[in-house]
Amino acid sequence: MNSQQLNQAVLRYREQFIPMIFEHTHGRVQTGPFRGMSIAPYRSWGDGDICAKLLGLYEDELHLAVAQAVSTLPDHIVNIGCAEGYYAVGMGRISQCELTVCDTDARALEAVRLNAEANGVAVAKSLSAITAVELNNLIEHNNRPCVVIDCEGAELEILDPVQAPNLEYATILVETHDCIREGIAHTLVDRFRDTHSVQWIRAQGKNPWQFEFLDKLSDMDKMSLVLEGRPETAVWLWMRPGAAR
């Protein structure tokens, strides 16, 4: 069995725990910056990592960056590769600013709509695709735009400061995908080093043992809840602009 097959087996195995997690959390995120956010049982990618999201452990390496992003009082959040809207709705719920979501999967955009409604969040625009030029136009009149992007390697084309010069003023949180296209992370650092403060964030372990209602689960069961099935260690770039518009 290779790693991909093992990951699929884990996804199938942990399906049994989803109802229990929903029952104990009442469908609300338990920890982190999105604590209290409702999550509907819809998914567009795998099982949606619903268990980890409800526990507040999904990509918890980004908690500080997310908190800092919303503390800048963004006037427009653009989430590209939004999936079910964990970041779009979570950040929109806190900041109550203009919100644009983008995903190539129509099921994802429908899930975002349902999650946004459940949390009283308004989505201004839902897009199925976006280019660097279109992103540039989208944030042209914003003073403090924030771009959150996870799009399986397409970040290299979209985060292009030549075609999108307005990115100079944007706070950017991007998951890089060197596992798909080697060198993306370093290329993006080179592109934005003169306009942004760039911080590398590496994936780390999760701690499901902090939740007492999981005590009866085995260690392997607990770990299965928070495994994200990545082919290699994930790296995000947290880029903060050095100048205001």
Q: Which of helix, strand or coil describes residue 195?
A: coil
Average pLDDT, the chain: 95
Confidence of residue 231 (pLDDT cuts 50, 70, 90): confident
Residue 230: its pLDDT value, please? 87
Token output for 152 = 């399986």
> What mean pLDDT comes out for the span 17-22?
96
pLDDT at 92: 96
Number of Cβ atoms within 10 Å of the Cβ of 65: 20
Evaluate if residue 152 carries a pLDDT over 80: yes
Average the pLDDT over 7-12 and give the result: 87
CA-to-CA distance for 114 and 139, rounded, in angstroms?
25
At 106 the pLDDT is 95
DSSP, residue by residue, 187-225: HHHHHHTTTEEEEEEE-----GGG-GGGTTS-HHHHHHH
pLDDT at 40 > cutoff 80:
yes
Q: Which residue has the higher pLDDT, 168 or 243?
A: 168
* CA 18 vs CA 40, 69, 82, 108: distances in Å: 12, 30, 21, 19
At which residue do the structure tokens 């899930």 appear?
111
pLDDT at 244 exceeding the cut of 80: no
Whether the predicted pLDDT of 11 surpasses 90: no
Average pLDDT over residues 98-112: 96
2 pLDDT band, cuts 50/70/90, is confident
Indicate if the pLDDT at residue 8 is higher than 90.
no
Q: What is the mean pLDDT of residues 36-45?
A: 90
Over range 171-187, report the average pLDDT. Answer: 95
For the chain, list the domains and their CATH numbers.
3-241 (3.40.50.150)
What is the pLDDT, as a whole number, of residue 46? 81
Mean pLDDT (whole number) for 146-150: 98
Q: How far is 186 from 184, CA to CA, in rounded Å?
A: 6
- Output the CA torsion 39→44→50→52 (10° steps): -120
Mean per-residue pLDDT for 71-87?
96
**In the predicted model, is pLDDT for residue 197 greater than 90?**
yes
| pTM, full prediction | 0.95
pLDDT for res 9: 87
Work out the average pLDDT over 25-32. Answer: 97
| Residue 245 confidence class, pLDDT cut points 50, 70, 90 | low
Any idea what DSSP says for residue 152?
Answer: T
